[in-house]
């Protein structure tokens, strides 16, 4: 029986085939090589006061449907940066999330902070495509990739100067992710096979990450209190989309998330407190 993730990736592969037919691999390789050097997000993540916010440009989601029209993604990204965001995440998957590479282009042109291409990346073409369009980071989901594919895509991205954000959802995926020696690991409270959100997953898995890895908490953030809980559990960064695009004041929201985390002391690794469970 196919999962939600299986269905999304099937559509991603169909759309990828269309783009590959229009823009041959050799051309994408040339564009990637000609792109300005990728920015390293890690120093900024580590230097952020309280928590680094990766603020997301997100129009739709499979679980909630339409979230916000976002006619000008560059303007939204600039508002995130003004609020103190350390990076901007851009969803480029079209069928379920309403994104595009044009959104990535618009955001790249609008901000000087690192930009993450957030998509279901399963093929080297997409990695090169991300670099060609100015991405500094890419998302690699352990749940969507076999070990050999995860390593191949991770190594290709780092070879291009990009930083992979390797995403996990359970302890087995943490082990698989750490095998490729990532600089940044995201723990997603949302199970993309079912779309359920369980924030306790973040509290359980963050202590498994070594201190030299930037730990990112993903999903389940509805406000500053949730950010503080994630930081208390050990997150050095949070990736937030829905709460920012639906709140009406993106700069203020980012600033509030950062402020909420400033006085929070991360719990020692291996003994993170529980996080209130939230099912969607």
Q: Model confidence over 41-59: pLDDT tens digits?
A: 999 999 998 899 999 999 9
- Choose, from 167, 173, 229, 242, the residue flagged as catalytic: 167
Say what percent of the chain tops pLDDT 90. 85
Average pLDDT for the chain: 93
Judge whether 196 and 280 are in contact, CB under 8 Å. yes
Q: Model confidence over 121-138: pLDDT tens digits?
A: 999 999 999 999 999 999
Tokens describing residue 146: 């076999």
pLDDT score recorded for residue 280: 35
- Choose, from 191, 219, 229, 242, the residue flagged as catalytic: 219
pLDDT score recorded for residue 184: 98
The answer to whether residue 167 is catalytic is yes
The answer to whether residue 56 is catalytic is yes
- Choose, from 61, 86, 118, 129, the residue flagged as catalytic: 118
- Choose, from 86, 188, 191, 251, the residue flagged as catalytic: 188
Cα dihedral 267, 270, 276, 277 sign: positive
Q: Model confidence over 132-159: pLDDT tens digits?
A: 999 999 999 999 999 999 999 999 999 9
- Choose, from 93, 129, 173, 218, the residue flagged as catalytic: 218
Domain boundaries, the chain: 4-261
Residue 13 to residue 87: CA distance in whole angstroms: 27
- Compute, in degrees rounded to 10, the torsion defined by CA atoms 112, 118, 123, 126: -40
The answer to whether residue 191 is catalytic is no
Given pLDDT bands bounded at 50, 70 and 90, which one contains residue 78?
very high
Strands 65-66 and 60-61, how do they pair? Answer: antiparallel
pLDDT score recorded for residue 62: 86
The answer to whether residue 188 is catalytic is yes
4-261 folds as TIM Barrel (3.20.20)
Mean pLDDT of 78-85: 98
The answer to whether residue 61 is catalytic is no
The answer to whether residue 219 is catalytic is yes
State the pTM of this model.
0.93
- Is 273 a residue whose pLDDT tops 90? no
């Amino acid at each position: 029986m196919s999962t939600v993730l299986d269905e999304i990736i099937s559509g991603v592969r169909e759309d990828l085939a269309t783009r590959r037919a229009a823009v041959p691999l050799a051309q994408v390789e040339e564009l990637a090589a000609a792109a300005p050097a990728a920015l390293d997000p890690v120093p900024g993540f580590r230097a952020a006061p309280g928590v680094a916010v990766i603020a997301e440009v997100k129009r739709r989601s499979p679980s909630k449907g339409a979230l916000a029209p976002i006619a000008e993604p560059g303007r939204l990204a600039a508002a995130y940066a003004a609020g103190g965001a350390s990076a901007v995440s851009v969803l480029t998957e079209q069928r379920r999330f309403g994104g595009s590479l044009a959104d990535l282009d618009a955001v790249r042109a609008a901000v000087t902070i690192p930009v993450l291409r957030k998509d279901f990346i399963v093929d080297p073409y997409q990695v090169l495509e991300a670099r060609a369009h100015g991405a500094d980071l890419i998302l690699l989901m352990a749940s969507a990739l076999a070990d050999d594919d995860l390593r191949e895509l991770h190594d290709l991205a780092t070879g291009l100067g990009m930083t992979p954000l390797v995403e996990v959802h359970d302890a087995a995926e943490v082990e698989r992710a750490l095998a490729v020696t990532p600089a940044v690991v995201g723990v997603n409270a949302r199970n993309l096979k079912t779309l359920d959100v369980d924030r306790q997953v973040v509290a359980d898995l963050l202590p498994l990450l070594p201190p030299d890895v930037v730990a990112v908490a993903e999903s389940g953030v509805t406000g500053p209190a949730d950010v503080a809980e994630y930081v208390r559990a050990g997150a050095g960064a949070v990736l937030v989309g829905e709460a920012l695009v639906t709140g009406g004041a993106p700069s203020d929201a980012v600033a509030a998330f950062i402020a909420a985390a400033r006085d929070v002391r991360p719990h020692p690794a291996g003994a993170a407190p529980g996080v209130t469970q939230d099912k969607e």
